Structure 1
Amino acid sequence: MDQNNHRDITAAVVHAKGEPFRLERARIRAPRADEVLVRIVATGMCHTDMIVRDQYYPVPLPAVLGHEGAGVVEAVGPLVRDLQVGDHVVLSYGHCGHCLPCGSGHASYCDEFFGRNFGGTGPDGKSALQDEAGRPLHDHFFAQSSFATYALSRENNAIRVSKEAPLELLGPLGCGIQTGAGAVINSLKVAPGSSFAAFGAGAVGLSAVMAARIAGASTIIAIDVVPSRLALAKELGATHAINSNETDPVASVREFTGKGTNYGLESTGRPEVLRQAVDALGGLGVLGVVGAPPLGVSASFDVNDLLIHGKSIRGIVEGDSIARAFIPELVNLHLQGRFPFDKLVKFYPFDAINQAAEDSERGITLKPILKIGV
C-alpha cells in the first residue's frame, strides 16, 4: 500500500464501446466497512462482460469488468464478521441485503440490483479504482470488477469455499454456472421423472443439463447449432440432442416428450428461440428465461397457446440462488464427481483476455477462465 492507502494492481480496462480490453496499471484502495480485498487467482469470462463492453447495457466507461472472480482474502474491513485473511472465496453478484427481496431470500431480485451490479461505482457513488494518473475508473461491476489482480467486494457476495477445491476453476460458479444450475434446481424445481429442454447449449445451458440430471429428470434435451456442444451435452447427461439448423426443434421436442416438455430454459437471448421454447412446452409447462439480449428487445408468443395450455414463462436472475448456500453446494457436487463443470472450461493467461473473448463469441470456447494470479 502507498501513503494514500492504495495498492498497485493490473486491470483490464474497456475505454470505449466495442474496444478491446487493455491491461493497464491501476490502483485500488483498502477495504472499508464490510468490504474485503481479494487477490484474484482466476476469473471466468461471461457473455455479460462482452455485452457490457459493447454497451448493450449502459455501464459507464472507462470501466474494469469481470464478475466471476475467485481468489484469496488479503485484507478485511472493520465490519467484516466471518471472513478472514487467507480464506478462499468465490465472488458473486451484488445486493444490498436489507430490502424486501433480499430479506425474503430473493437477493438476485434486490431493489438495488441494477445499480450495485451495473452502476459503475459503489453505493456511495465513488470508485475504488484509479488509473495511473489518479483518475477514477468505473468499477464495482457485479460488486467486484475482477478483471484485475485485486478486487474489492462486500462480505455478503464473497463466498467462502473449501480449500480442497481447485480455486482457479471455481470463479464461474459465481454467475454463469450458478445461473444454469440454479434455474433448474431453485427456480423451475425440475422434478424426478420429468422432461427438460435446454434451448442453447453454452455454459449456462450445459450447466442446466447437468443440474437436470442431478434433479432426476428422465428426458433431458439439448438444442443448439454447434455439433461439439451437442456431443458434450450427451456426455453430461442429455438423453437427446437437437441441431436446430437441421431439424425443427419444436417438433423434435414434442416427438421426444409426447406432448411437449415439462420444463424449459432459454439461454440464447434470441427472440425467435424464445418463441420456439414457449411453443415446445407441454400443458402446464414452465419456461425459464435467462438469455440477455440488448435492452428493449421484444419477443412474441401465441397468447391462446399460453392460456389454453396453462403455460408459464418466468425471468430468472442468477438462478434464484442464495450464493452463500448454493455455491458451496455446487463445489461439493463437483468434488463428488456429480457436477463436472470443468468439462466446460478453457484456461487463458490474463494477457490473452481478448483472445478469450473472441473464442467465446465464436463458440470455440464454452467458458473461458483467465488465470490472473497463481
Structure 2
Amino acid sequence: MPSPTLDVEAAVVEEKNGEFRLRTVSVQAPRPDEVLVRVVATGVCQTDAHSRSQDYPVPLPVILGHEGAGIVESVGSAVRDVVPGDHVALTFPSCGRCRACRAGAPANCQHGFELSFGASRLDGSNAYGGGGVHGHFFGQSSFARFALASERNTVRVADDMPLELVGPLGCGLQTGAGAVMNSLRVGAGQSVAVLGTGAVGLAAVMAANIVGATTIVAVDVNETRLALASELGATHTVDGRTENVADQLRKIRPDGFDYILEITARPQMLAMAVELLAPMGVAALIGGAPAGTKAPIDMNSLLNGGRMVRGIAQGDSQPQIFIPKLVELYRTGRFPVDRLVRTYEFADINQAFADASRGSVIKPVLVMGD
C-alpha cells in the first residue's frame, strides 16, 4: 500500500539561478526512522545559494533549506528521541552506520555529502511528489511548511527558545561556534583570526570570546559587520577594503596566530592564513568553494614549524549535545544570536536571498506564520 501523503506549500527552484516559486507538493508519511516537522522558521544559508546557482550541483527542481526549526507533527514507529509537540531544530544528516558516525563524528559521515546534496534518501527514494520535485536536501528541505527529516538530524530544544533563533543553530552558527569549541578546542589566552564575518564568522567570534581567547581578530570588507564583531567580542578588526590584511595581522601578532579560520572560500586567503600561523598553529578551512578549487599553499610553511591545515564541517558537532549547549549559552546572554538575525515572511524568500547576496543582512530567517 502506498504511504498516505500530505499536501505542502514549498519554495521550489526549477532551474539554475531561478527564482523560488511557491508550489504545492505532496510529502509521504514518515518511515519508521523519520520525523515530520511543521516548520515554524528556517534560516537562509550561503550553501542554499550555492546550490541554487549549481556551484554545488543538486537535482532540479528541488526544495532547498537546511536550517529548519519547528514542531514535531508525527513520527515513525522506531523514533524514540522526539514525540509530537516537541520543539526541534533540524540539522545536518548522517547515516549512523559508517566508521565516522560510529566514532561519534557524524559531521564527517562517509555518506554526508550524498545525504546533503543528493536530494533523495540514501536508498535513492524520494518522498516528495509534484512535477518531479526533489526533496531531502540536507535531509530536511525546510523551505516548506512541513519538512521530512530523520531522527538523527532532529534535535529537541527547550519550548521557550524562540524558533526563529533555533534554525540557524542547525548549520551556520553551529559551524562557526563548533569550529572554535569542538574542532580546534581554542583555549584561554590563545589567538584567533576570523577571515569573513558573516553568520559563521560572527559565531566563531562569539565562541572565541566565550572560551577566553585574548586576541580575536575579525577580518571583512563590510564595516557594519566589523563593528558588530567588535561588540560581540573581537579585540581587533581589519577592513580588507582599506587595509593590507596580511600586514595588519602581522602587526597584531608578529609571532603568528594560534588559529586562523578561513571562511571566505578564497584560495589566496587560505594561502595567506598558512603564512600567518605561529609554529604549531592551525589554519581551518570552513568556507565552501566551488568543486575543484585549489589553493597555492607553500609546502615549506607547513613543514617548518609544524603548522597544519584542516577542513572543518559543521563544527565537528554532535548536534543532540551541541545545539542544546548553544541554546543555553544564548539564554544566559553569552551567545546573542538574535543580533545576527532578520526575519522575513516565507513569501518574501526571494527578497531574503537578494538581501543576503548584497550583504545587507547577516542571517535571514524565513518565518512561516499561520
Which position in structure 2 is the counterpart of 1:53? Answer: 52
Count, aligned residues: 369
Distance in 1 between residues matched to 2:284 and 2:242, nearest whole Å: 25
In the TM superposition, residue 373 of structure 1 has moved relative to its aligned partner by 3.5
Which position in structure 2 is the counterpart of 1:242? Answer: 238
Distance in 2 between residues matched to 1:346 and 1:281, nearest whole Å: 35
In the TM superposition, residue 250 of structure 1 has moved relative to its aligned partner by 1.7
Give 2:297's match in structure 1, choosing from 298, 301, 318.
301
Distance in 1 between residues matched to 2:240 and 2:122, nearest whole Å: 44
CA offsets, 1:302-340, max 9 Å, x none? 111221122111000000000010000000000000000
Distance in 2 between residues matched to 1:92 and 1:107, nearest whole Å: 11
- Alignment-mate amino acid for residue 46 of structure 2: H
Is 1:32 the counterpart of 2:28? The answer is: no
Within 5 Å, which residues of 2 pair with 1:1-374? 5-131=4-130, 135-374=131-370
CA offsets, 1:70-129, max 9 Å, x none? 000000111111210000000000100111100101111111111111111112211111
* Cα pair 2:42 2:143 within 8 Å, conserved: yes
Distance in 1 between residues matched to 2:163 and 2:245, nearest whole Å: 38
Distance in 2 between residues matched to 1:130 and 1:34, nearest whole Å: 20
Moved more, 81-90 or 304-313: 304-313
- Alignment-mate amino acid for residue 207 of structure 2: A
Secondary structure of 1:18 counterpart: coil
In the TM superposition, residue 287 of structure 1 has moved relative to its aligned partner by 1.1
* Cα pair 1:266 1:287 within 8 Å, conserved: yes
Distance in 2 between residues matched to 1:230 and 1:130, nearest whole Å: 44
TM-score by length of 2: 0.98
Distance in 2 between residues matched to 1:154 and 1:249, nearest whole Å: 43
Distance in 2 between residues matched to 1:216 and 1:249, nearest whole Å: 24
* Cα pair 1:288 1:314 within 8 Å, conserved: yes
Secondary structure of 2:54 counterpart: coil
- Alignment-mate amino acid for residue 215 of structure 2: T
CA offsets, 1:275-299, max 9 Å, x none? 2222221121111111011101111
Distance in 1 between residues matched to 2:21 and 2:272, nearest whole Å: 39
Distance in 1 between residues matched to 2:316 and 2:289, nearest whole Å: 19
Distance in 1 between residues matched to 2:29 and 2:132, nearest whole Å: 15
Distance in 2 between residues matched to 1:278 and 1:362, nearest whole Å: 29
Distance in 2 between residues matched to 1:241 and 1:4, nearest whole Å: 55
Distance in 1 between residues matched to 2:242 and 2:95, nearest whole Å: 46
* Cα pair 2:119 2:138 within 8 Å, conserved: no
- Alignment-mate amino acid for residue 251 of structure 2: E
In the TM superposition, residue 19 of structure 1 has moved relative to its aligned partner by 0.7
Moved more, 244-253 or 204-213: 244-253
- The two structures, once aligned, show a CA RMSD in angstroms of 1.1
* Cα pair 2:90 2:153 within 8 Å, conserved: yes
In the TM superposition, residue 143 of structure 1 has moved relative to its aligned partner by 0.4
- Alignment-mate amino acid for residue 230 of structure 1: L
Distance in 2 between residues matched to 1:119 and 1:129, nearest whole Å: 14
Percent of aligned pairs sharing the same letter: 51
* Cα pair 1:120 1:139 within 8 Å, conserved: yes
Distance in 2 between residues matched to 1:258 and 1:270, nearest whole Å: 23
In the TM superposition, residue 350 of structure 1 has moved relative to its aligned partner by 0.5
Q: Could you tell me which runs of 5 or more consecutive residues in structure 1 were left unpaired when the two chains were aligned.
A: none
* Cα pair 1:127 1:136 within 8 Å, conserved: no
* Cα pair 1:277 1:287 within 8 Å, conserved: yes
Distance in 1 between residues matched to 2:236 and 2:312, nearest whole Å: 24
- Alignment-mate amino acid for residue 27 of structure 1: S
* Cα pair 1:249 1:276 within 8 Å, conserved: no
Secondary structure of 1:170 counterpart: helix
Distance in 2 between residues matched to 1:248 and 1:65, nearest whole Å: 37
Secondary structure of 2:287 counterpart: coil
- Alignment-mate amino acid for residue 38 of structure 1: V
